[in-house]
Structure 1
């Protein structure tokens, strides 16, 4: 009897691979991942689980100590995969949660360099995405409570001369894939997102895109509520300090941030930059503005975050410039728990 091929699995015969022909697609993000704490926001390996609950929504994320939890930089792999799937389906092509592509396609698609270090970091990201276990009640049917999965069910690589990886095949989680093929659960994001270097500011951009969208009044959160939604290990005071530094830099593409206080509570208002400019407000600062050393919330400075030419840091400007309006939805249907504050208090979802 012939031996089964290496890396064969029970799912392989039932899944025709979706071969990515080109990596040039507008970046798209999955809505459920944009506002809940699914990823570590630090480059320091995290083993402590994320346990998040808001109403009927529960998210639990567990990691293996030897790999650490999947980070928000690892999530670039999922964003790129979602972009390719949506772009192919828009063109009438058949897709699958089994993707076949080259690392070069992915790395250039998310604005990273393509040296040996980047290939090594890319494979480390795949390991974390596969070893991280997620359990959530989001998008479950009437008679089902929660679903458990890893972001990548399996992956394999094809080696070339000198050990260089020539091709990669990954099988995405069915929960994630179903959330991508449902067009109502996907939002276009600014390509400049990949150039944001800090974990908190990356997460904050995704929250802004999901909630503020293009609403002229934007969206407002108390910092205590944002801290809860982020899943950050930082103390609330350190998290608030990080937010203040981000507000001072204004690095989020397409959005303007302001802080104020009401009844002794600090609040963050996120408004689309187009609305601010229309009203004669400040112009958007360059995303290349210097970033201070504290790019991970509450963590000591990490050398790799400032290193040159690494897969942790975006490099060249993406080929596609950001359109004037990224997506068209006002996001008026944003999740209700986003209006809830820590302790059960409620504020207005949209800024007055």
Structure 2
């Protein structure tokens, strides 16, 4: 449903799209799932994200007042994408100028509806509006960059008693065009909103984007995943957190494992959860003390004996395919030197895997 906006700003040139009160399937933009656009920590981050790999350039900048938009703030963009796609599929006109009540947004993304949650929502909108992105993704000319903020502007409306009555926000054209292209949107599991760790949320989006529902799953080199995360943590801390996720198996719909190639290269492998994990649990969840820290996928039935030395033993005859088909740069580390997100050794305290509701 649309009506003319009365504002004299950019809003005056757009028609107002009211998000339906229905509960559409959550959908995410593939570009946002595949690349480092958000801070993975609740810590106030102002240090830019610089990513330059295989011709894809991204720079994300924040202002000291609000800090960089976090992966929890990105839930608002998932809400927007979900309603835009739902309206388009229903034959309704859509617009970059969207309106909804805070209650509708918060309940869709699995948050509470207390006054504190409303304040957190407004803080998230501020971070999305003040965070700027410059990227070469989906630009017609090689090397050309598109610069935008995740939200061009937003307005809070209140009723006669001063209580929140709704918000209006304008999503950028770069995001809007991606959402309206079927090939650039993926449905995600609603359980995603229940993931409390920033690291868990980021990894789910990467796995969902690149793995899809491929029967045999895919593999990623840990070093390249580190580049794709934009994390401030040192690589050793990153690898530790990744192994902890493999141990916990929190990602809805997927089973994770660690594989080591002959040359010593460590890979994260993932496949749909319809393929049961060893022992029905995480890879090394039932390993007795004294067993190697990483138990290869395909470990024997009981998991009580250390497997004989072998290279990622599996019941299948072949290793998973490297993730080259869905994204040409998925396992490329050629641009590693150009990525400047690694923190100094004394910065290990800034853990990107913090949990809880975003503030």
When the two structures are superposed, what TM-score results if normalisation uses the length of structure 2? 0.77
Distance 1:251 1:219, change over 3 A: same
Partner of 2:156: 157
SS at match of 1:120: helix
TM-superposed CA distance for 1:87, in Å, is 0.5
TM-superposed CA distance for 1:21, in Å, is 2.4
CA contact (8 A) 1:7 1:156 kept: no
Query: Which aligned pairs between 1:64-103 and structure 2 lie closer than 5 A?
Result: 64-103=63-102
Mean Cα deviation higher: 260-269 or 189-198: 260-269
Distance, in Å, in 1 between the alignment partners of 2:133 and 2:52 is 14
Distance, in Å, in 1 between the alignment partners of 2:8 and 2:45 is 31
TM-superposed CA distance for 1:164, in Å, is 2.1
Distance, in Å, in 2 between the alignment partners of 1:210 and 1:282 is 27
Partner of 1:201: 200
SS at match of 2:152: strand
CA contact (8 A) 2:98 2:168 kept: yes
1:339 and 2:339 are equivalent in the alignment: no
Partner of 2:270: 270
CA contact (8 A) 2:256 2:270 kept: yes
Distance, in Å, in 2 between the alignment partners of 1:58 and 1:107 is 32
Partner of 1:112: 111
CA contact (8 A) 2:133 2:149 kept: yes
TM-superposed CA distance for 1:265, in Å, is 2.2
Distance 1:85 1:333, change over 3 A: farther
TM-superposed CA distance for 1:159, in Å, is 1.0
Distance, in Å, in 2 between the alignment partners of 1:255 and 1:198 is 17
Distance, in Å, in 2 between the alignment partners of 1:50 and 1:254 is 29
CA contact (8 A) 1:61 1:132 kept: yes
TM-superposed CA distance for 1:48, in Å, is 0.2
Distance, in Å, in 2 between the alignment partners of 1:94 and 1:31 is 23
Distance 1:84 1:332, change over 3 A: farther
Distance, in Å, in 1 between the alignment partners of 2:160 and 2:247 is 48
TM-superposed CA distance for 1:160, in Å, is 2.2
CA contact (8 A) 1:29 1:186 kept: yes
Distance 1:45 1:23, change over 3 A: farther
CA contact (8 A) 1:257 1:269 kept: yes
TM-superposed CA distance for 1:180, in Å, is 0.2
Query: Which aligned pairs between 1:160-309 and structure 2 lie closer than 5 A?
Result: 160-262=159-261, 263-274=263-274, 276-277=275-276, 281-283=278-280
Mean Cα deviation higher: 192-201 or 155-164: 155-164
When the two structures are superposed, what TM-score results if normalisation uses the length of structure 1? 0.79
Aligned residues: 291
Partner of 1:320: none
TM-superposed CA distance for 1:35, in Å, is 1.2
The runs of 5 or more residues in structure 1 that have no matched partner are 286-330, 345-352
CA contact (8 A) 2:224 2:331 kept: no
SS at match of 2:124: helix
CA contact (8 A) 1:224 1:342 kept: no
The runs of 5 or more residues in structure 2 that have no matched partner are 283-322, 337-359
TM-superposed CA distance for 1:227, in Å, is 0.6
Distance, in Å, in 2 between the alignment partners of 1:342 and 1:207 is 19
* Offset from partner CA, 1:40-95 (integer Å, 9 cap, x none): 00000100000001121100000001100000000000001000000011100000
